[in-house]
Structure formats: structure tokens, C-alpha cells
Structure 1
Amino acid sequence: MRFTHSMLGAAAVAALALGTTTALAAPASAAPNTTPQKVCGVGYKTVNSAPVGSLGTVYLAYNASNGNNCVVTIRNNPGTAVAMSAWIYVPDTNEGDSDDGRYTSYAGPSYVIGKGHCVDWGGSIDNTYVQVTGSNCASLTEHRTTHTR
């Protein structure tokens, strides 16, 4: 899936600001013991994470065998479906992927090929949003923002 940086940003802002959901997205089943590896698949290791307030965590995982990154947002306390999202974007290649909808346990997985590239990623649970830019770039410092609407 190809995205331009401005398209991804606009889509993310619109989805997050309006709390839109994907009409055909099926809610993920409640899974209290869900891990990024269970959601992303075999070979993925968590390389970074960011709390989504006190509601859960967004995880960035990487698979060294295929060069793919995976992002998943996991709730601390699964329950009634709420608006959630998980997204990832590679500025160097304009590649990105996202998942948003109403879920009971997790959003994602969202995948992108990112070997050798910095990645921007994030997610949301209910009305709390986190964004990490310039992530996993060797000596560069990433930037994190979290906000609640």
C-alpha cells in the first residue's frame, strides 16, 4: 500500500480527530494474553513500544528474516469495542499501512518493509493517541507525542 507522507498524515489526523471507524472491520476478539508476537506472527521481535496513556501500549516489532516492521496496539483491559488504531510509515519510501476500527482487544497488525530505514508509527485507544517519529534510526533521536481528545 503506497502513501505519501501528507496523505498518511491527513488520513491519520482525520481518522483520529473524527474517531472514524472502518465500516467492514470485524472486532478483534478479546485476548487478555495477547502479545505483539501473537498478533504480528512468527519471527517478529518487539524493538520499541509506547504507552497509550493508561489504556494500553503500541508496539513496534521487526522480523529480521524478511525486513518487515509490524505495529499493533494492545489494550490493557480488553472489553467493549472502542475506537482503536495502529499505523506505520516509512518516510524514505512513502510506504505505509494502517488499521483502525472498533476493537475489543487490539488494532493491527500493520506491516511495512523497513530494513535500513527510519519509521514513524503510532496508534490510539479510545480518545488517547500516541505518535513516534524518526524511530529506530541508529544515532538519531526519535520524537514522541501523546495527546487526549
Structure 2
Amino acid sequence: MGSVRNITAVGALTTLVVGATAMFGTTASAAPNVTPQGVCGSAYKTVNSVPVGSLGTVYLTYNASNGKNCVATIRANPGTAKAMSTYIYVPDTDEWAGDSGYYKSYAGPAYVYGKAHCVSWGGNIANVYVSVENSNCAALKERRVTEIR
């Protein structure tokens, strides 16, 4: 039952991020060649990533000194602003963070404390959505989903 509730919570978070994109769309820009460390901070090391089709990548990073995870969705080819999002959720603590809007090169950063916890995370670029559930923990098998809407 807890698993169903967590999946529902992640689905609800994705819907919330997408809805916020529609309601509060903003424009941000960054120089080409944006890196996860440039978005999250130099102390954050990339621990996982998932492609958003051919449009870009969502990166999961971790800072061992403070126990925080950070996610950022980075476009492969910055340009005209597109709907983008990034989110991260810690099921054990029910903590989540996200960012969404109309961006030229990246969405994020979004930070949560994740030391010794599984995390679920993802994002979108335009109509391609990705999610990774039960990530970066030995206890559960990771599940990846890519959707085109």
C-alpha cells in the first residue's frame, strides 16, 4: 500500500510541476555548455542521469558534505524558451522540491536532504517527461519511465 501511495505522490508532484509551468511560466537563460555542477554547485557530484529523449538530460547530483541531493534538467541545445521542469522527492521523509517554467537552457536547481534515503526524481523538456523512482538506494529496484504527451 505504501508503494502505491508513493507512486501516487510522485505522479501528483509531476502534475503539480507541470501545472505550475502553465500558471507561473517564467523565462531564464544561461550560457551554452551548462553543467550540473554549474547549476547545483561545484561540491555536487553527478550520481545519476536520465535522457529526456534527444532534447536534454535530467541530472541527479549529491553533496557528501551536507547530505543534499540536487536535480537539474539541462537542454542539449539551448535556444527559444520551452516548457521545462525538474523535481526530486524523498518518500521516507515526504520532502520534495522542484522548479518549472519556460527556460532557454535549464530548469533547477532543486535541493532536498537525501543522505541514506532513496529518491525519486525527473523532469521534462517540452512534451517529453521522464521519471526515475527508487533511485540511488540498495533496498529497491530503480524504475525509469519516459512519456511523450
- Give the aligned length: 144
C-alpha change, 1:58 and 1:65, in structure 2 (3 Å) is: same
Listed as ranges, the matches of 1:32-111 within 5 Å are 32-111=32-111
Higher helix proportion = 2
1:21 CA drift (Å): 4.5
- Looking at structure 2, the residues matched to 19 and 99 of structure 1 have their Cα atoms a distance apart, in angstroms, of 8
Gaps of 5+ in 2: none
1: CA distance between counterparts of 2:118 and 2:13?
20
Question: Following superposition, which runs of at least 4 residues in structure 1 exceed 4 angstroms of deviation?
Answer: 4-8
Q: Give CA deviations for 1:92-112 in whole Å, capped at 9, x if unaligned.
A: 000000000000000000000
Structure 1 residue runs without a partner (length 5+)? none
8 Å contact 2:87–2:121 — kept in the other structure? yes
Equivalent residues of 2:17, 2:99 under 8 A apart: no
TM-score normalised by length of structure 1: 0.89
CA root-mean-square deviation: 2.0
> Which residue of 2 is the match for residue 127 of structure 1?
127
Please tell me whether residue 16 in structure 1 is matched to residue 22 in structure 2. Answer: no
Where 2:140 maps in the other structure, the secondary structure is: coil
SS at match of 2:79: coil
- In the alignment, the residues of structure 2 paired with residue 93 and residue 34 of structure 1 have an alpha-carbon distance, to the nearest angstrom, of 30
Is the 1:36–1:46 Cα contact (8 Å) retained in structure 2?
A: yes
Distance in 1 between the 2:83 and 2:99 partners?
A: 11
How many Å apart are 1:52 and its aligned residue?
Answer: 0.1
Q: Partners of 1:30 and 1:38 in 2: how far apart?
A: 10
Q: Tell me the CA shift for residue 19 of structure 1.
A: 5.6
Q: Give the TM-score, by structure 2 length.
A: 0.89
CA distance in 2 between counterparts of 1:18 and 1:40 reads 21
